[in-house]
Structure 1
């Protein structure tokens, strides 16, 4: 089961939950994405999060990993939101975006 949500401070969340091998619990994963993805598997992500493997059902697994992802996003530097918004607007490749923002920040 997967769910796409956002934007959260300029980022989108792609969450995925699947049953564990024993089938008694669910594990969850999230990708924090620059742009809104079509699916979890096609997401252009900034980083990934493992939400654990102890959830009772798929819904609670998705909710827990989304909560973890939102917490991680709030810990990002303020400039990360403008980077995400610029990435969405201009479709700039990630390496160029970071180099451009790094030099812009260093020159000011």
Structure 2
């Protein structure tokens, strides 16, 4: 199951959830994208998020990775939003964000 939404602080989120093993649990993934993607698989993303593999439903898996994506977006530097908005208006290439800037809040 896929879901795409946004913009969230200038970014779009493409999420994917799928059953694990016997179908009793579900895993989820998200891509935080510069522009609105056509699908999860074709998304031009700034970074990716693993939402876990312990969810009891597809909707729960998508909801959890959605919350995680919104949380990670909120920690991005202020200039990241303007880069995303610039990318939406023209085709200027914007590099992938450094992991260190994304995880900075976890080390402090």
Same fold (TM > 0.5):
yes
TM-score, with structure 2 as normaliser = 0.86
The SS at the match of 1:52 is strand
The SS at the match of 1:14 is strand
**Structure 2 unaligned blocks of 5 or more:** 98-108
* CA deviation after TM superposition for structure 1 residue 94, in Å: 2.1
Which residue number corresponds to residue 34 of structure 1?
34
Q: Runs in 1 of length 4+ with deviation above 3 angstroms?
A: none
**Aligned pair count?**
97
Which residue number corresponds to residue 74 of structure 1?
74
> CA separation in 1, counterparts of 2:2 and 2:39?
8
After superposition, residues 10-49 of structure 1 pair within 5 angstroms as 10-49=10-49
**Alpha-carbon displacement from aligned partner over 1:18-48 (angstroms, at most 9, x marks no partner):** 0002321000000000000010001000000
TM-score, with structure 1 as normaliser = 0.86
Higher helix share: 1
Greater Rg over alpha carbons, structure: 1
**Structure 1 unaligned blocks of 5 or more:** 99-108
